[in-house]
A and B are shown apart, each in its own frame.
Chain A
Amino acid sequence: MADQKNKAKQYQSFEDKRETKRPILLNCVKAFLVGGFICLIGQVITTFYIYYFDFTEQTAGNPTTATLIFITMILTGFGLYNRLGQFAGAGSAVPVTGFGNAVISAAMEHRTEGFILGVGTNMFKLAGPVIVYGVFAAFVIALIKTIFLQLGGL
């Protein structure tokens, strides 16, 4: 048993030396540029809503998010977002467009299993954890804040 484990360890380092590694630095640069560019588009849309419609800096966030997700939906539908994802990595995954893509791609993929058990059940299979832990984290932070304020705060 220990012998087998040793052999496996030896093999893993043998294999590791022959593996093509992720180009981490290059990936970071790409992610920074693409992610930054998506945020720039978001900023342009926000400014557009503030200047041409009756929105303020506080209220323009929601229509901006909706617009970005709409664009993502079209890109995902035409099979372009996954290509962007392969190039940009975290750059296209972290912004809200990445969240949109996770929901939309899953919904499209499982259409063949019907609208209830297919789309309905699987739509959030990738984005679900973001919601679960997002809500949970918000709850914990709110709890800490409340306790802190009740104790007198600063």
Chain B
Amino acid sequence: MAHYLVKSNGKEFDIVVKKSGDSFCVVVDGREQTVQFSSSGKSKSVMLVDCCSHEISINSNGYDNSRLVTVGGIEVELEIDNFRLAQLKKAAGNSNSQAASKKIKAPMPGLVLEVKVSSGEKVESGQTILVIEAMKMENAIKSSAAVVVKNVAVSKGQSVEKGDLLIEFE
């Protein structure tokens, strides 16, 4: 038996999983459901929840708690943690998930056209931070939260590869 806390898009699910013969008994927020889960290929699976069919693929990185799950082609990003650990983390005031977004990396290779912020500057959520040209289109990179810029790692006219560090926040 295992007990997890899954978070996605501001929602939390308290999930208990037990093996039950060839299938699983899953209790979600107190509701019990029978789940069959069979994998085909590296990340593809068919999951039957009380006989409702879902095509699933899961991408994860070892112990990292973040997952990209697709359900019938629709992507859902979520975080999964051992339930007791999640409680301990809450008690310890640990906020790993926030730490994760302190850096902005290049979402695609391209050319930095404009840098619109400088270090020490406060930026609002949704504010354009820099503009990258890729595939002949100009793409605005925006802040996802209100933050203070710590370091600007690129300058105007510079070529970047996907995943290169662009900006660090306080």
The judgment on whether A and B are partners is: no
- List residues of chain A with CB under 8 Å of any chain B CB: none
- List residues of chain B with CB under 8 Å of any chain A CB: none
